[in-house]
């Protein structure tokens, strides 16, 4: 059997589904239907990639559906909870970054990686600047009205000088980052060329990241918050791509 991690008002739990149950493209688009294998009262699920998907009762993904939109879960994770898979994959990425001194090494207590926590714009600037190897100066010119002269200022102002972020009056250093924003910042900081150009910059980077293997599922909800584990996973794959 395959365990699918589901989350609802009653708290986290695991719901057993048949190993041959298929997941339709609605998941990839950020929605999914309430079906016979979705418990009543639950409003989201976590897939292997850590993507939260909202249910839409008008859509369907019936077991045995052979349309191209469906993806067979198969036997790969039989007997393993999806939640455990996510933690394992993201933790491995965190260890990779820690070994490169991009983030603090918490290998003795991996819970301190805070894989499921949101990441602030200031925190992300430090991580991507250190990952890029761009040199920083230990000074702060107070370019942004809302950025204090603290540890984060030099990373933020370095990102500005390199054209990674825009020179607006405010930076909003403590705001969280969306998944699509994070992808754009990773591409720009590592000078990775995007593969698509449309009228949606979010979709350009999502499609490019999917094409290059930085993410495993495309998504259309541009407001999805980027968790630390997601950042670590994307950045690990991007760095390995750059080193080829």
**Surface-to-core class of residue 233, CB atoms within 10 Å of its CB (0-12 exposed, 13-18 middle, 19+ buried):** buried
On average, the pLDDT of the chain sits at 72
Per-residue pLDDT, 107: 85
Q: Residues 139, 210: one domain?
A: yes
Q: Both tokens of residue 200?
A: 């949606």
Per-residue pLDDT, 22: 40
Q: Both tokens of residue 99?
A: 């070994």
Contacts of 69 (CB under 8 A, 6+ apart): 24, 25, 26
Domain termination residue (choose one: 28, 63, 80): 80
Specify the pTM: 0.67
Planar angle of CA 237, 235, 177, nearest 5 degrees: 140
Domain termination residue (choose one: 48, 80, 112): 80
Nearest to 113 by CA among 238, 239, 229: 229
Domain termination residue (choose one: 80, 114, 141): 80
**Per-residue pLDDT at 23 exceeds 90:** no
Q: Residues 134, 220: one domain?
A: yes
Q: Residues 112, 193: one domain?
A: yes
Per-residue pLDDT, 105: 93
Q: Residues 54, 125: one domain?
A: no
Strand pairing category for 2-8 and 42-46: antiparallel
Asked if 218 contacts 207 with a C-beta cutoff of 8 angstroms, the reply is yes
Q: Residues 202, 101: one domain?
A: yes
Pick the range with the lowest mean pLDDT from 19-23, 187-191, 196-200, 240-244.
19-23
Per-residue pLDDT, 216: 78
State how far the Cα of 16 lies from the Cα of 79, in Å rounded to an integer.
9
Q: Residues 146, 51: one domain?
A: no
Q: Residues 71, 153: one domain?
A: no
Per-residue pLDDT, 62: 37
Asked if 189 contacts 132 with a C-beta cutoff of 8 angstroms, the reply is yes
Q: Residues 101, 194: one domain?
A: yes
Q: Residues 14, 109: one domain?
A: no
Per-residue pLDDT, 89: 73
Nearest to 128 by CA among 44, 238, 221, 43: 238
Q: Residues 33, 120: one domain?
A: no
Q: How confident is the model at residue 244 (pLDDT cuts 50, 70, 90)?
A: confident
Q: Residues 234, 150: one domain?
A: yes
What total of structural domains would you count in the chain? 2
Q: Domain range holding 103? A: 86-242
Q: Residues 107, 135: one domain?
A: yes
């Amino acid at each position: 059997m395959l365990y699918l991690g589901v989350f609802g008002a009653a708290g986290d739990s695991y719901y057993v589904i048949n190993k041959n149950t298929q997941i339709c493209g609605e998941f990839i688009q950020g929605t999914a239907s309430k079906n016979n294998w979705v418990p009543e009262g639950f409003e989201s699920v976590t897939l292997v990639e850590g993507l939260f998907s909202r249910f839409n009762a008008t859509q369907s993904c019936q077991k045995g559906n052979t349309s191209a939109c469906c993806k067979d879960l198969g036997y790969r994770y039989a007997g393993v909870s999806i939640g455990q898979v996510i933690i394992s994959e993201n933790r491995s990425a965190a260890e990779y970054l820690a070994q490169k001194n991009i983030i603090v090494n918490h290998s003795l207590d991996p819970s301190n990686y805070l894989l499921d926590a949101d990441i602030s714009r200031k925190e992300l600037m430090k991580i991507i600047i250190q990952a890029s190897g761009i040199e920083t100066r230990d000074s702060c010119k107070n370019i942004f009205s809302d950025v204090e002269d603290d540890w984060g200022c030099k990373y933020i102002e370095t990102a500005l000088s390199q054209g990674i972020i825009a020179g607006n009056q405010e930076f909003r250093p403590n705001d969280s980052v969306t998944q699509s924003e994070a992808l754009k910042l990773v591409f720009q900081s590592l000078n990775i060329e995007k593969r698509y150009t449309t009228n949606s910059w979010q979709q350009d980077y999502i499609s490019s990241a999917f094409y290059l293997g930085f993410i495993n599922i495309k998504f259309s909800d541009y407001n999805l918050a980027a968790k630390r584990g997601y950042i670590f996973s994307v950045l690990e794959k991007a760095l390995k791509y750059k080193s080829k």
